[in-house]
Amino acid sequence: MLQDIGLISLTVLYKVMPDIYFADYRFDLTRMALYQAEYRVPLKPKQAILLHLLLTHHKEIVSKAQILDEVWGETVVSEQVIFQTISQLRSILGDDAIHTYARLGYQWQWPVTESPVSEKPVTGTPIKTDFAAGRRVLPLWVMAGLLVCLSVYVATSQYNYKKPSVETQVTILDKGDLQAGTLSFFDIAEQAIDMSGLKPVQQEPSEISIEQAFQTPELLWSEGQKNWQMWGKLYPESSGVFIHYGIARPGRVWEGYVYASDESELATSLTRRLTALKSLGLFADNHTTTQELVVLSMSRQAPDDPELILTAGRYYIDQGQFDLAITYLDRLIEQFDGHQHKPYVALAHWHKGKVYKMRSQHVLATASLRDMSEVLHETQLEPLKHLYVTTLAWLSYELGNWSLMNQVLEQALAEIMTDGADGLRRFELHILYSILAKKTGQVEKQYHHLNLAQSVLTAHELDKSNQAIVLYHFAIFSGNDSDAEPYLKQVVALPRTGKNYWVQDEAMALLVEYALARGDYEAAHALIQPESQNPRALLLKAQIHAAQAQEAHMMTVLKRAFTLAQQRFDGQSAQTAALRLYRASSSTQEEKLYYLAYLKANTGADWLRHQQISERELAAL
């Protein structure tokens, strides 16, 4: 009965005010979502809750205590977190949207209605409140002066944020081997930088490869650096040429693709792209602006840009808002079907597959990867094809379909031998094959591909690279654990990316294993940061407790890892945690059956056989 009353109350509430409108925005109360011109504005969950609180109490000053209670609940945070979240909302909506009342709290300032508002409210004209009305009114000349100062300040701040310096300097990472026909990326980029109003600056050749720059651009940065650095590669086809470019400075990274049907038009195409990015504020002078706020601002200004739609989709994935991410990715897939958009559409399919894989929706993940492969079929974008292959290999492993896993990797290696691909991709495939063979008990293949990786390493002089996978290889080939540890620590210390995270996970697992082998439990615990609450770190923590014969601690951490892995759609970690809990002597029979049922439903026959789970055990279900 009470539930029915609650539903009726909510129904009445949303009939009265299903959406809140202000300026050119609409806030959907049911979805806790903000829209501008019917495009979703990216908000983190806490930002959305705080905005909801301010909008629904717009006639009041909302105290910090109330904000802490209604936004963060039982989570203990400092008032600094409120200030940061308010600042983030102001960065998205404008400084004049929320007013701070010293020692009292915050209040929404723009008019709020139940129907669309035609114009944005004038800056500096806050809504009057009972509190404000009761205060001493300042003389009009003082108020006018303050408003002028405020207007100048806001205008200056916005100008400084959006307008790049005429002296924005860009250096080009020159490797000297990136030609398509008669042109090199360096020549094209130099022309484009100059024609887009930026300033090209000469740079000494870098030891960092183009592939490494794309994977971990942070390695290009140096202390006190303010210049931008640009790099890229050309991919000629029969119908034209793609450029995959990257550009970064400390704290800000961008990459994308441009296409031209003729190589003589490449500089013009890249100029148009750099000019667009410049007008959207990518090269803004404000060095303290975060990458996140830059992306939000650019997306609002150019909601139909495929590069920005893809970036927004990736942002939502990082924020754990998977359904919203898929909405953006689907829009990109459906709206852009030209050949010049194929890299973005392929990556949209890949990111969708990543979301489905995290959710253990393996049929959908496989379908997304198949779609990605079809998009790339008539292109020469080999790095994206390589991304498809490595992802499909991992997915096949997690599905327990090891014959498909082997087939995918062997076919990729056969093709890569004939197309003259760079040594780094060959090397990565051999290392990946070796790691997956080890996980699936294929000892002969494990060492065969490890040795082939060594041959590629030597032949292509990859020893000078600080790629995570190269350092991992050095560790594997070290004579003993003490020689391997420095390499593994370098791997773990590298910036974590979507391409090297699996190598870093393997490296961390080995470091823990080495520490436990010498009985150094303190060192093993020290490897796991106390604040680490991701499933894989918790699994390592449980492994350490098990080595110390701390059964109760191990069980607590394993259960936490299992729950967290399911919440975060980390199927591999959930399977590992479930297997250990199933085999734990302190698990009850009911718990054992629960974890066994989970394993049967979420793995394949090969996986169960490899873990020596018998048909007799499965029959108990």
Mean pLDDT, the chain, as a whole number?
80
Instruction: Specify whether the CB–CB gap between 231 and 205 falls below 8 A.
Output: no
What would the two tokens of residue 317 be? 């994935």
One-letter amino acid of 273: R
- Pairing between strand 39-41 and 33-36? antiparallel
Instruction: Specify whether the CB–CB gap between 344 and 257 falls below 8 A.
Output: yes
**Position 5 confidence tier, pLDDT thresholds 50, 70, 90:** very low
Q: 392-440: per-residue pLDDT in tens? A: 998 898 888 889 999 999 999 988 776 555 677 888 899 899 989 988 8
Write down the pLDDT at residue 466.
Answer: 52
pLDDT of 4 higher than 50: no
pLDDT of 25 higher than 70: yes
Alpha carbon distance 58, 69 (integer Å): 18
Taking the CB of residue 530, how many other CB atoms lie within 10 A of it? 8
Q: 315-359: per-residue pLDDT in tens? A: 888 777 788 888 889 999 999 989 999 999 999 999 999 888 877
**Position 204 confidence tier, pLDDT thresholds 50, 70, 90:** low
Give the pTM: 0.63
Write down the pLDDT at residue 203.
Answer: 66
Instruction: Specify whether the CB–CB gap between 225 and 232 falls below 8 A.
Output: no
One-letter amino acid of 138: L
What would the two tokens of residue 334 be? 């459906």
Q: What is the CA radius of gyration of the chain?
A: 28
Instruction: Specify whether the CB–CB gap between 115 and 21 falls below 8 A.
Output: yes
The secondary structure of residue 163, as a DSSP letter, is: P
Q: Identify any residues that bridge with 241 across adjacent strands, giving them in sequence order.
A: 236, 260
Tell me the helices (H) and strands (E) count for the chain, helix number first: 28, 13
Alpha carbon distance 454, 367 (integer Å): 34
For residue 92, the surrounding DSSP H or E stretch is helix 79-93
Placement of tokens 């490595």 in the chain: 390
Write down the pLDDT at residue 168.
Answer: 82
In terms of Cβ atoms closer than 10 Å to its own Cβ (0-12, 13-18, 19+), residue 118 is exposed
Average pLDDT over residues 281-303: 75
Q: Which long-range contacts (CB under 8 A, 24 or more apart) does 501-504 make?
A: 502/394, 502/435, 503/431, 503/468, 503/469, 503/472, 504/468
Instruction: Specify whether the CB–CB gap between 527 and 543 falls below 8 A.
Output: no
Write down the pLDDT at residue 39.
Answer: 72
